Structure 1
Amino acid sequence: MNMRHLIVSRTTAVWLLLVAATLLSWKVGHEAGGQDPRGVGAMIIIVAFIKVHFVILDFMEIRHAPRWMRRVGCAWIVLMAATLVALLVTAPPPP
């Protein structure tokens, strides 16, 4: 395996996407200031579950697993993200 292959591989691209998503979450969280923390929190949770999606598919190698396994994994991600966002958004506003 040569260096060029490492640089242009899907794994490297996904890793860079994960780093960018982490930086985005950090920036959104730190610049929230006077915004509603529930909306900011919901956005951070959504970005986190997008990252989970890529980790499960690419680093746990579910991308090449049987279709039913990919669907179960994706359904779990959507269900957990939707549940957490719904709980967060319906919570009473902070004092």
Structure 2
Amino acid sequence: MPGPSVLAFVRGRADVSWLVLIAATVVSFALGADHGTGSAMAVVILGIAAIKIRLVGLDFMELRNAPKPLRIAFEGYCVALWALLSALYLFL
């Protein structure tokens, strides 16, 4: 009798987001650990971090169903944060 699959534990959007967050953490660690300080790689890792922030906000802080202006502000915040941190890394 085979054991339960990973998909058996996925019951909703939050569970899927949780699995994506774990995968994104592993990917960003694999990209950043002991691979030097390449500019492009750092910007990619910052992009992954911004996507993780967005997922946490939308699915665990329930901003996905928030009023349109609040959601637009949050989405803009994620993009602005990624752009600012990338610019600071690249130009300072």
2:20 is the counterpart of 1:17: yes
**8 Å Cα contact 1:49/1:81 also seen in 2:** yes
Q: Deviations over 1:3-35 (max 9, x none)?
A: x885231111010000000000000012524xx
- AA partner of residue 64 (structure 2): R
Q: What amino acid is the match of 1:73?
A: F
Structure 1 match to 2:82:
81
Q: After the TM superposition, which segments of 4 or more aligned residues of structure 1 sit over 4 Å from their partners?
A: none
Match of 2:62 in 1: 61
Equivalent residue number for residue 33 of structure 2: 30
- Equivalence for 1:7: 10
CA RMSD in angstroms comes to 1.8
Aligned-partner Cα distance in 1 for 2:11–2:31? 29
User: Aligned letter for 1:19?
Assistant: I
What amino acid sits opposite 2:83 in the alignment? A
1:43 positional shift? 1.2
| Structure 1: runs of 5 or more not aligned | none
Which ranges in structure 2 are unaligned for 5 or more consecutive residues? 1-6
Identical-pair percentage: 34
Distance in 2 (CA, whole Å) between partners of 1:78 and 1:11 is 22
User: For 1:8, what is the secondary structure of its paired residue?
Assistant: coil
**1 CA distance for matches of 2:51 and 2:45?**
10
